[in-house]
Amino acid sequence: MQENLTEKDINDVFNDILFLEEKVIDEAYEEGYKIGAAQGNKEGYHLGYHRGAEIGSEVGYYLGVTEKYIDNYANFEEKPVKILRSLENLKQLILEFPQINSPEADVVVLKETIERLVNYLEPLLPLANVHMVDFFTKNVYETYLPAEIKSDLKKYKHRDVMDKLFNNDYSDLPNLKSYVTKSQEYTLKNLEVCLQTDSLIQKLSSNCSEPSRLKLNVFMNSKKSHEVDILSYVIAVLKNISGTTHLVDIGDGKGYLSSLLALHNKIPVLGVDASETNTDGSVKRIKKLSKVWNSITSDAAKESSQHLYKQITKYVDENVDFLSLVSNTFLAEPEGLGLIGLHTCGDLAPTCLKLFHKNESIRTICNVGCCYHLLSEIYEEDTKSGEFPMSNYLKEKNLKIGRAARMIAAQSMERILEKKEVPNVTLFYRALLEIILQRDFIVGDKNKQVGRFRKRPANFSEYVEKALKRLNLEPITKDCEILSLLKLYEEREYEVYIFFLLRNMLSPIIESLILLDRLLYLQELGLTNSYIVQFFDPVISPRCYGLVAMK
């Protein structure tokens, strides 16, 4: 009995081995098939896309020839009716051909770039979404920093680590160096998807005349002057190339950009803002600016610049009919519109892109977004509505960034590192205050914000006093309690700052993801003349990137 059982067990073992081999072979085949199919799909797309670009160029050539013959024959005294009819039929057939693929735009390459970025960023999103107020109460430093980075940081005092971060010195800190290097790798300027202003102009330019530039410092600070100087020039070039007659400035604000385009470039601009206060302010500002302008220009220029900039107060959604608005405001039918926006806030930037896509009358868009923390997300809290992601590709991934991560996307690491700015001490104070709030008070409302104070508190005691007053909480009468808490944690002050810097190194990656998603949205729709552009110096103007597209 025992021998038979042993033989049976051995046979079962051999069968299991054979079945296991077959299973491994089947799984390997399935995996290889999927990889091969995916690679084949990519290669097929590349070949089809670029062959389509070649055919589209040829068809475009014949369309031009056909239209030329139609124009010539139309001027004959005795028109060749049959020939004209045949040419018109040919023209209609050509126009049915799909839009030309730009040889320089490749959706697959863009998707692959986004996928690499997402694969790096997604595991780090818990770190990016940490609230600095929870630094001590949730033991953030130990919980969220990768173990290998903490191992590096233990080699030096916190102040020395800060110096190394500011001086780009990672000797004897291989893991920290890897984190910083990888994070920089996925920024827009290093992903090779971003154009400089000069490259954009060169790419789009034709035989159109180049507009003159004017740096205006009146009524605006140096940062705004830097932005308006560059963006007004790019917009004027776009206007010349596309042949549009009017511009619409979304989120017009104080009207600096619109004013210069109207006064200097002589372009009719409709400024649209949801705030009546902003609209009234821009009206008063253009009157003051016009007086200064008129004192340095000729009478002819004064006359031609008058009434070119008009303002209205209106909430903008993707259903606004700007063609009618411009027509009714300027009492003239525009021959194509250009949509512009300098630092359009939150959801307004993606709304502008949707307007550009939906309206044939809008031929160009030049948009610089900001306030990413106010951007709504589709997959945040199961709302199923929102403006991120925009592209079908990222929608299929159900990707969510998170509000705290979007908040740091507005930070400028380049400015912080360039100026070697140690974070404000109130960052440390606020984390300490959270210990007091959770220990001594019942504060359940997470939306209660202490915010900034107009005058920085002189010390921690004054900070606590002002913060509790702002939160409508009873003051702490025993100053010794506050000072003892400060004494307990003061050696960890620079630990807060190090974590703040390391977390903020993800900020340009998050901004890159948001803007690449918008670019992919346009290219998925066949709007291949669309680009991400670095307009401004990031040290002067942190929100320096924007999107430009032309139909």
Contact at 8 Å (CB) between 542 and 364?
A: no
Contact at 8 Å (CB) between 136 and 435?
A: yes
Q: Under the phi-then-psi rule, with left for phi > 0, alpha for psi from -120 to 50, and beta for the rest, what region is 172?
A: left
> Residue 475 to residues 106, 440, 458, 472, 479: CA-CA distances in angstroms?
61, 11, 17, 9, 10
Based on the number of CB atoms within 10 Å of its own CB, is 384 exposed (0-12), middle (13-18) or buried (19 or more)? exposed
Residue 318 has what pLDDT? 93
Residue 504: strand, helix, or coil: helix
Cα–Cα dist 395/390, whole Å = 7
The structure's pTM equals 0.80
- How many CB atoms within 10 Å of residue 183? 21
Weakly modelled stretches of the chain, pLDDT under 70: 1-24, 26, 28-29, 32-54, 56-57, 96-105, 206-209, 214-219, 278, 280-306, 382-384, 443-448
In which element (H, E) is residue 548 found? strand 545-550
For 530, phi then psi, to 5°, come to -130, 140
Contact at 8 Å (CB) between 273 and 286?
A: no
CA–centroid distance for 392 within its chain: 17
Cα–Cα dist 187/510, whole Å = 9
For 269, phi then psi, to 5°, come to -130, 130
Fold of 190-414+509-550: Rossmann fold (3.40.50)
For 77, phi then psi, to 5°, come to -65, -45
Q: If we measure between CA atoms, which residue out of 322, 305, 138, 172 comes closest to residue 247?
A: 322
Based on the number of CB atoms within 10 Å of its own CB, is 4 exposed (0-12), middle (13-18) or buried (19 or more)? exposed
Q: If we measure between CA atoms, which residue out of 283, 493, 301, 518 comes closest to residue 393?
A: 518
Give, to the nearest 10 degrees, the angle between helix 507-524 and helix 107-121: 150
Contact at 8 Å (CB) between 312 and 283?
A: no
Residue 268: strand, helix, or coil: coil
Residue 363: strand, helix, or coil: strand
pLDDT tens-digit series, residues 284-293 = 666 666 665 5
**What torsion, rounded to 10 degrees, do the Cα atoms 173, 175, 178, 181 define?**
-50
Strand order in the sheet with 545-550: 194-196, 530-534, 545-550, 362-370, 337-345, 246-250, 269-273, 309-313
Q: 314-349 burial, b if ≥16 CB within 10 A, otherwise e? A: eebeeebebbebbeebbeeebebbbbbbbbbbbbbb
DSSP 365: E
Please report, for the chain, the start and end positions of each structural domain, with discontinuous segments joined by +.
Answer: 2-95, 118-175+422-504, 190-414+509-550
> Residue 280 to residues 8, 268, 288: CA-CA distances in angstroms?
93, 19, 13
Residue 218 has what pLDDT? 62
Report angle CA 258, 262, 265 to the nearest 5 degrees. 115
Instruction: Provide the token pair at 306.
Output: 């008058």
Instruction: Provide the token pair at 320.
Output: 């606004």
- The radius of gyration of the chain from alpha carbons, rounded to an integer in Å, stands at 30
Residue 5 has what pLDDT? 46
Q: If we measure between CA atoms, which residue out of 193, 127, 116 comes closest to residue 515?
A: 193
Residue 100 has what pLDDT? 52
